[in-house]
Amino acid sequence: MKKVIAMSLAMCMTAGMLAGCGNSTTAQSTEEKQEQSSSTAETSEKEEPTEINLMVYAPENFDPATFPSVKAIEEACNVKLNYEVPPMSSYEEKLQITMASGEYPDLIMFPGHDSQVFKDAVSDGVVVPLNEYLKSADNLNKYISDVSWDCMKVEGDDQIYGIPRSTPFRCDQYYVRKDWCDNLGIELPEDGIITKDQLVDIMTRFTFDDPDGNGVDDTYGFTWYADSNGNLDPQVFAPAFGLLGWQKSDGTYKYMKAMYDRESDTYPELLSFVADCWNKGIIDPNAPLNKSSAEALTRMAEGSVGIVKDFAGNLPTQLKNIQEVNPDAELTYLFVKDKDGEVKGDAYGGGYWFLNAITVAAKGKEQKIVDMLDYLLSDDGWRLLQYGPENVTWHYEGSNIVVDREAYDELIAPVRNNFTPVRRADDANFFLPVYYDADQADLIESCRKWVQMSIDTAVPSLDSGYVPKAADNPSFIDYNNKLMNTATKVILGNATVDEYKQVLNDWYNNGGTEYVEEMNTWIASK
């Protein structure tokens, strides 16, 4: 069975396609493409493919020999890819062994710029700076954010040592049971934007007005989950207060994060707000027992909770989970604006998940590797990463892409998200189903709008994921946990906001001052 993806040629970015691993994104005529194709074929006959050894973070069911996108990449870029795919569960252990061995692949995926194994690889000269090779990488420079590129640098060095595996900076906001709203006569704005007071009203009515109509007092307005130390992060309501991570400040320090700011009442106001919601009983009492977002979402799926904060792109999956319990359930997505009437929020994550680093073993092949990764973010390459090879898992019918569901589900879907070595950071479509039934079209289009809005309203924190050396101080670690623990106690009614402020003062006296000063120095240096 095949279904048409609701996407025009324009949205599929057919203008400016690349025929191979070049750097131009200029649109080509049919004659030019045929001429280039012929030229590429002749070149391929004359030149042996460049062998590239890769160590990648990918699912264990990823088999390069049978995964058709690998062959397509090899043909497009005239390379021979030799993959090493350690188990994901022991990837970092294998990475450390590899780095200690002195025998390096040409290209290695590292967990992040703050991992010690990557820092050591840079300081030991194992991975090479890429600035010169990136000058012609138009697609990498276009589709990877400046913040993510900053993460690829080390302190005191303006060289770039990795190519990020981008994820969009996004502002996650709220899944809401639309059918519960309908049952209670709650009218939601067409643009999906509400105030903090409206959010509280919905939470209250979901808790006390029997939204599921079962005559039992068994529902709550909102839930989330505790971290590994058992602490509840009040930042789950941060969009309503305009809290945006490390940003410019008018206080003692040029840059500040709200939870560490002794000169602003915004974070104490947030704590008081969450504590008030807890005291009213409109927050799920199971929240401190939830250990992950999955467990919080399970509370929604089983019909206990009506609002959960999560990524808009996951909504179709969550709706499916809910409808397995209640087939009549509906979900929508809401954004909460801050006191200035703006929709914005602290960007989720650091803009990337894993990075690609080229090692000294690749001497003479550096540009070829960069060009290959650059090709993958070209129009042709990006379409390949999303859908697989043309005429294998999809084809064109007029101006539409038609996905062969069976072929796609067998060959691409199992490893698509984790295999992708680079991503376009601003593309909402990557996080949505590549095919869907006609009766899902409205939902998917709504999700596309919500995901794009999540991307457009996200404000990256200026720290770029940097971790000051002061964070390694045992006293700092202890007091940082005390700070989060005290915030949790305030939420649960077991401490006051003034007690939080006192612990914050203690935090400054136990490594916090050095932490803030180092962070300010880092941000100012970028």
In whole angstroms, what is the distance from residue 191 CA to residue 229 CA? 37
Looking at residues 381-394, what average pLDDT do you find? Answer: 95
37: pLDDT confidence band, cut at 50, 70 and 90?
A: very low
Looking at residues 365-393, what average pLDDT do you find? Answer: 96
Whether 321 has a pLDDT exceeding 90, the answer reads yes
Nearest to 487, CA basis, from 231, 207, 169: 231
Looking at residues 265-292, what average pLDDT do you find? Answer: 97
The two three-digit tokens of residue 374, written as one number: 């650059």
**What pLDDT, on the 0 to 100 scale, is given for residue 32?**
39
**6 phi and psi angles, rounded to 5 deg:** -75, 75
Alpha-carbon distances, residue 342 vs 153, 198, 199, 235, 367 (angstroms): 33, 15, 15, 17, 43
The two three-digit tokens of residue 431, written as one number: 């996080």
Whether 2 has a pLDDT exceeding 80, the answer reads no
523 or 489, which is more confident?
489
> Which residues, including other chains, have CB under 8 Å from residue 405's CB and lie 6 or more apart?
1, 2, 3, 435
Sheet holding 352-358, edge to edge: 79-84, 50-55, 107-110, 352-358, 163-166
Whether 526 has a pLDDT exceeding 80, the answer reads no
Over the Cα atoms of the chain, what is R_g?
25
The DSSP string of 20-79 is: SS-S------HHHHHHHHHHHHHHHHHSPPEEEEEE----TT--TTT-HHHHHHHHHHTE
In whole angstroms, what is the distance from residue 149 CA to residue 166 CA? 10
**What pLDDT, on the 0 to 100 scale, is given for residue 19?**
37
Whether 158 has a pLDDT exceeding 50, the answer reads yes
45: pLDDT confidence band, cut at 50, 70 and 90?
A: low
Say whether 466 sits in a helix, a strand or coil: coil
Looking at residues 345-355, what average pLDDT do you find? Answer: 81
In whole angstroms, what is the distance from residue 493 CA to residue 152 CA? 42
**Lowest mean pLDDT, pick from 124-128, 301-305, 377-381, 414-418:** 414-418
**What pLDDT, on the 0 to 100 scale, is given for residue 30?**
34
In whole angstroms, what is the distance from residue 370 CA to residue 375 CA? 9
357 or 20, which is more confident?
357
In whole angstroms, what is the distance from residue 374 CA to residue 142 CA? 10
What class does CATH assign to 2-14+48-168+350-459? alpha beta
The DSSP string of 182-237 is: HHHTPPPPTT-EE-HHHHHHHHHHHHHS-TT-SSS---EEEE--B-TTS-B-GGGG
Q: What percent of the chain has pLDDT over 90?
A: 74
**Lowest mean pLDDT, pick from 217-231, 295-309, 344-358:** 344-358
Alpha-carbon distances, residue 285 vs 277, 289, 410, 483, 490 (angstroms): 11, 8, 42, 22, 15
The two three-digit tokens of residue 493, written as one number: 């009614």
Q: Give the chain's largest Cα–Cα span.
A: 77
Looking at residues 429-458, what average pLDDT do you find? Answer: 89
**What pLDDT, on the 0 to 100 scale, is given for residue 128?**
97
The domains spanning 2-14+48-168+350-459 and 173-346+467-525 adopt the same CATH topology: yes
- Cβ distance 388 to 394 under 8 Å? yes
Looking at residues 170-187, what average pLDDT do you find? Answer: 96
Which sign does the torsion angle of CA 390, 394, 395, 396 carry?
negative
The DSSP string of 280-309 is: HT-B-TTGGG--SHHHHHHHHHTTSEEEEE
20: pLDDT confidence band, cut at 50, 70 and 90?
A: very low
- Cβ distance 203 to 307 under 8 Å? yes
Q: Which long-range contacts (CB under 8 A, 24 or more apart) does 497-500 make?
A: 497/268, 497/271, 497/272, 500/268, 500/271
Q: How is the chain split into domains, by residue range?
A: 2-14+48-168+350-459, 173-346+467-525
**What pLDDT, on the 0 to 100 scale, is given for residue 434?**
87
Whether 93 has a pLDDT exceeding 80, the answer reads yes
Whether 11 has a pLDDT exceeding 60, the answer reads no
**What pLDDT, on the 0 to 100 scale, is given for residue 242?**
93
Whether 3 has a pLDDT exceeding 50, the answer reads no
Q: Which amino acid is at 237?
A: F
- Cβ distance 105 to 359 under 8 Å? yes
Q: Which long-range contacts (CB under 8 A, 24 or more apart) does 325-332 make?
A: 325/301, 326/212, 328/179, 329/177, 329/179, 329/303, 330/177, 330/178, 330/179, 330/182, 331/175, 331/176, 331/177, 331/178, 332/175, 332/176, 332/178, 332/181, 332/188, 332/192, 332/446
255: pLDDT confidence band, cut at 50, 70 and 90?
A: very high
> Which residues, including other chains, have CB under 8 Å from residue 134's CB and lie 6 or more apart?
140, 141, 160, 163, 370
pLDDT, one tens digit per residue, over 189-232 is 999 999 999 999 999 999 999 999 999 999 999 999 999 999 99
Whether 146 has a pLDDT exceeding 90, the answer reads no
**What pLDDT, on the 0 to 100 scale, is given for residue 357?**
97
**What pLDDT, on the 0 to 100 scale, is given for residue 349?**
61
**Lowest mean pLDDT, pick from 255-264, 315-324, 427-436, 454-463:** 427-436
525: pLDDT confidence band, cut at 50, 70 and 90?
A: confident
Q: Which residue has the tokens 């009983």?
A: 281
**Lowest mean pLDDT, pick from 38-42, 284-288, 518-522:** 38-42
| The listed CATH number (1.25.10.10, 1.10.240.10, 3.40.190.10, 1.10.1060.10) that belongs to domain 173-346+467-525 | 3.40.190.10
Whether 447 has a pLDDT exceeding 60, the answer reads yes
21: pLDDT confidence band, cut at 50, 70 and 90?
A: low
Strand partners, 307: 176, 222
Nearest to 112, CA basis, from 70, 167, 30: 167
Mean pLDDT of the residues in the chain: 89
335: pLDDT confidence band, cut at 50, 70 and 90?
A: very high
Strand partners, 177: 331
pLDDT, one tens digit per residue, over 480-522 is 999 999 999 999 999 999 999 999 999 999 999 999 999 999 8
Whether 379 has a pLDDT exceeding 60, the answer reads yes
Q: Where are the beta strands (DSSP E) in 318-445?
A: 331-336, 345-346, 352-358, 394-397, 400-404
In whole angstroms, what is the distance from residue 31 CA to residue 16 CA? 15
- Cβ distance 172 to 451 under 8 Å? no
- Could you tell me whether strands 247-248 and 255-256 are parallel, antiparallel, or unpaired per DSSP bridges? antiparallel
> Which residues, including other chains, have CB under 8 Å from residue 256's CB and lie 6 or more apart?
246, 247, 249, 263, 264, 516
Whether 39 has a pLDDT exceeding 70, the answer reads no
End-to-end CA distance of the chain: 52
